[in-house]
Amino acid sequence: MSLPHAILTALLEKPSSGLELTRRFDRSIGFFWSATHQQIYRELGRLEQAGLIRALPQAADGRGPRKAYEVLPAGREALVAWVGEQQEPKQIRDALLLRLRAAAVVGTGGLGAELRRHLELHRSQLAEYREIEARDFAPERVGEENRLHHLVLSGGIQLESFWTTWLEDAVRTVAELDAVDNAVDNGVDKEV
């Protein structure tokens, strides 16, 4: 039940068409709640049906190519109610950790390369977040809304920092294990 509320939040920040929402879900909002355009269009239809949003009249019948939506009072109320809801933190479900566990049983295979690839991806994501922080959250710009946005971004930064640190460790560990295996294969383990 999070996607509709992500969309309501986005539309409150700025009324948008399906495409504009899709773009915004590729950055900013999408950094912590990703969605494809198919999901977004489907959900926009449902939200309109439920009377929580409406297509902006001027854009709709002005036969412009895109129709923009805005949040109705009922939509805002629904969002307020949702912010106050309790929800259990969802458990970790990470395929990479699972692969490491499997590797402990059947061998590391090509896992080292995959770990290095992920490390690069997380490094570049971290760099992107840091750029945004430098650009949008200079020390002088601290409003109430801004502080919450910064808090969210800082969560992303710390999370990516965690991944890069941990992946560096993982890459090192797997490389060492592979080296030991190779040594054994070549019969030089006695010299170690």
Partner DNA sequence: GGCGACATGTAACTAGTTACATGATTGA
Partner DNA sequence: TCAATCATGTAACTAGTTACATGTCGCC
Beta bridge partners of 53: 71
Whichever of 58 and 181 has its CB closer to its own copies, that residue is: 181
Are 144 and 19 in contact by the 8 Å Cβ rule? The answer is no
Whichever of 65 and 138 has its CB closer to its own copies, that residue is: 138
Instruction: Give the footprint of DNA on residues 123-162 (CB under 7 A).
Output: none
Near its own copies by CB under 8 A: residue from 114, 128, 133, 168: 114
Q: How many residues does the chain have?
A: 192
**Binding status of residue 19 toward DNA by CB under 7 A:** yes
Beta bridge partners of 109: none
Whichever of 38 and 186 has its CB closer to DNA, that residue is: 38
Specify the residue for token string 């800082």: 154
Instruction: Give the footprint of DNA on residues 28-67 (CB under 7 A).
Output: 34-39, 41-42, 44-45, 63, 65-67
Q: Is the dihedral angle over the CA atoms 143, 145, 149, 152 positive or is it negative?
A: positive
**Binding status of residue 103 toward its own copies by CB under 8 A:** yes
Contacts of 104 (CB under 8 A, 6+ apart): none
Q: Which amino acid is at 77?
A: E
Contacts of 108 (CB under 8 A, 6+ apart): 174, 177, 178
In whole angstroms, how close is the CB of 71 to DNA at the nearest point?
16
Whichever of 117 and 172 has its CB closer to DNA, that residue is: 117
**Binding status of residue 53 toward its own copies by CB under 8 A:** no
Which residues contact DNA (rule: CB under 7 A)? 1-3, 17-20, 22, 34-39, 41-42, 44-45, 63, 65-67, 90, 93
